[in-house]
Chains A and B, each alone.
Chain A
Amino acid sequence: MKPSPTHAPVVPLSDRDERIKRLPDAARTAFQQFQLDGNPERLDPVLWAILMDFVPKATMAIGSETPGATRLIEDLGFDSLAITEVVFFTEDLFGITITNEEIVQVRTLDDLRAFLRAKVAVRPPS
C-alpha cells in the first residue's frame, strides 16, 4: 500500500509528550528513540501500546508474540469507533494524516505495522 502524502503536524511536539504519558514505559522509551533516530522499526512497542489502550474489550494481550495475521476487527474485537480513535491518536502522535481509503485497507496487525512504518518514513521533517 502506498502511503498518502502527509501534512505538516498540527499538534505541537510538547502535546505529543502529553499524549504518550499514559503509555507503558517500553512504549515511551521506544517513541523517544524513534524521535531521536527516526528509525520506524523501533515503533512496534508503541503500536502494541496504542492498540491495547483503545481495544474495546481487553480480552488478550497484544504484543510481539501476537501473530501478524491477527485481524483487528474479527480477532481483537476492534469496532469502527475504536479504529477511528486509534487513527486519531496516531495522527496526532506522529504528525501524519491518514485517509479513509488507507484505513479500510488495514485489516491485520502486519498491515498496520507496515502501514505505520511506511507512513512515518515519508513524514516531512518537523
Chain B
Amino acid sequence: MPSLPVITGLGFITSIGHDRATVLSSLRELRHGFETVEFFGNPRLPVKVAGTVKGFSFPTSNWRDWRWPGQFSIDRELLRGLAPHGVFAICALQQALAEAGLDPADLRDGSTGLFCASAGSPFMLGDFLAQLRETRGERGNPMGIVSSIAGTLNFNLAAHYGISGAVCGFVSACASSSHALGFAMDEIRLGRQQCMLVVGAEDLMGESIMPFSGLRTLSNNPNPATASRPFDRHRDGFVGTGGSVALVVESAERARSRGARIQAELIGWGQAGDGHSVAATHPEGAGLREAMRRALADARVNPAEIAYVNAHATSTLGGDRSEALALQAVFTAQDAHPRVSSTKALTGHGLSLAGALEAAICTLAVSEGFIPGAAHLQEPDPVCAGLDLPRTSLDEVPRLVLNNSSGFGGSNVCQVFRRPA
C-alpha cells in the first residue's frame, strides 16, 4: 500500500499576504493584492497593475540594496546566491517549516527532498549578461549563474538547508510548481522520501512580467479592482504577480508519528499535454480535460464528489474559454456541479509560482472549511454556462478539491486534495 502524501506546513509570500492568517482572511473577504505600478519607470506602458509583494524592495541586482520585512531573517551567506524570488522563497519556507513543526536540522538526514519551480530571474540574468556583453566576455559576476538561471531556487535552498534527498527544479512555465507538487507526491507514494519540500517562486519585475505584453496576454485595465477578472466576458488579460509559496509534504505515517497536524491529503494527480501550440491553449482545453480525468482516476473519485475546483483561469480570453469548456466536459456533462473559482482574481498570476500558490489555497479550503469566491466576476462569459461560479466566498466545508494548472506548450497538471477525516 503506497504511502499517502499529506500537507503539514504552508508558507506564503504573496500579494494578498505574507502569513497564513492574512492570506486566509484575504480569500474569505475577497481582498485583492493589486496596486498601480510602473514597470521600467515607463509611464507609457499600457500595463498599469500588478499583484505587488509588499514590504520587499529590490532596486538593483546587488543584494546589499535589498530589503525585506523585519520578521524574516536571511543569512548573508545565502543572500549572495539569491535572486529576488529566492528571498521570497526563504521567507515562505521558514513559515512552512515552522508550521510543520520541523527544525532545519531535521532536513539533513536524506529522508527529505526538495522540488522547486521558478523561471529563474530575468532581472538578474539581464544584468549578468549585460556585463558579459559590455566587457566582451571578460567580466562575469561569480554568483551570476547561480543567482539567475532556472534552478536558482533549488541550487540555493538545497545547499542552505543541507538537503541530501531528491533535489530537482521543474520548468513547465505556469504549470511548473504544480509539476513539482505532483512529482513530490510520487516521491512519497513510492517510498523514496518521507518528506518533500515544494517551493514555487517568481520575481515581480518588469523583466519577468512585461515579456507577456508582447504576447498580448496582460491586462491593460488600469483599475486594480477589476483588472483581473477570470471568466468575466470583459476580461482582457492577466495581472502579473510574484512571491513564493512553500509546502511541506510528507507521508501520513510520518506526520502522525511525530504528531504533526495534517492539513490536507493529496490523493491523486494527473497531467496531460495539449499537443497543440507553443503558447496558446487548446481551443477546447483538450489537455486540461484529460489531466483532470487522470487526476480524478488516480484519486479514485467521481467528478460528482469534487466540491470545489480552483481553476487555472488567468483572465485571458483564450485560456479561460478553454478551461471553461474542459470543466464542462469533465463535470457538467456528467451532471457534476462543483463550485469553481480562480483565485488569480485576487492574487494575480504568479507564473511558475501559480500551481504551488493555488495548491496552498486548496489546502486552506479543505483545512479551514471554506470555498473561495470568484472575485471581480460581474458578467460571466456565456461560455461558462453551467459552471457554478460563486460571487462570494462560502462557508462550506469541501471534502474534495481539485487544483488546475496549465503552462506553455500545453502542459496541464491537476491534483486532488481531501479533507482529513
Q: Are B142 and A84 in contact (CB under 8 A)?
A: yes
Assuming the contacts A10-B135, A22-B64, asked whether A58 and B142 have C-beta atoms less than 8 A apart, the reply is no
Q: Which residues of B contact A56 (CB under 8 A)?
A: 76-77, 80
A87 nearest CB across to chain B (Å): 8
- CB neighbors of A among B47-70 (8 A): 62, 64
B139 lies within 8 A of chain A by Cβ: yes
A2 lies within 8 A of chain B by Cβ: no
- CB neighbors of A among B335-370 (8 A): none
B75 lies within 8 A of chain A by Cβ: yes
Q: Which residues of A contact B138 (CB under 8 A)?
A: 10
B143 lies within 8 A of chain A by Cβ: yes
A126 nearest CB across to chain B (Å): 16
Q: Which residues of A contact B76 (CB under 8 A)?
A: 56-58
Assuming the contacts A10-B135, A22-B64, asked whether A88 and B77 have C-beta atoms less than 8 A apart, the reply is no
B73 lies within 8 A of chain A by Cβ: no
A11 lies within 8 A of chain B by Cβ: yes
Q: Which residues of A contact B135 (CB under 8 A)?
A: 10-11
B141 lies within 8 A of chain A by Cβ: yes
- CB neighbors of A among B95-140 (8 A): 135, 138-139
Q: Which residues of A contact B143 (CB under 8 A)?
A: 81, 85
A78 nearest CB across to chain B (Å): 11
- How many residues of chain A are within 8 Å of chain B by beta carbon? 15
CA distance A82 to B139 in the complex (A): 16
- CB neighbors of A among B69-83 (8 A): 75-77, 80-81
When each residue 63-90 of chain A gets 1 if its CB lies under 8 Å from chain B and 0 otherwise, what string results?
Answer: 0000000000000000001101101100
Q: Are A88 and B75 in contact (CB under 8 A)?
A: no
Q: Are B139 and A92 in contact (CB under 8 A)?
A: yes
Residue of B nearest to A82 (CB): B80
B128 nearest CB across to chain A (Å): 12
Q: Are B80 and A85 in contact (CB under 8 A)?
A: yes
Per a CB cutoff under 8 Å, which of B77, B81, B142 touches A57? B77
Q: Which residues of B contact A (CB under 8 A)?
A: 62, 64, 75-77, 80-81, 135, 138-139, 141-143
Residue contacts A-B, CB under 8 angstroms, 10 given: A10-B138, A11-B139, A22-B62, A54-B80, A56-B77, A57-B76, A57-B77, A58-B76, A81-B143, A85-B142
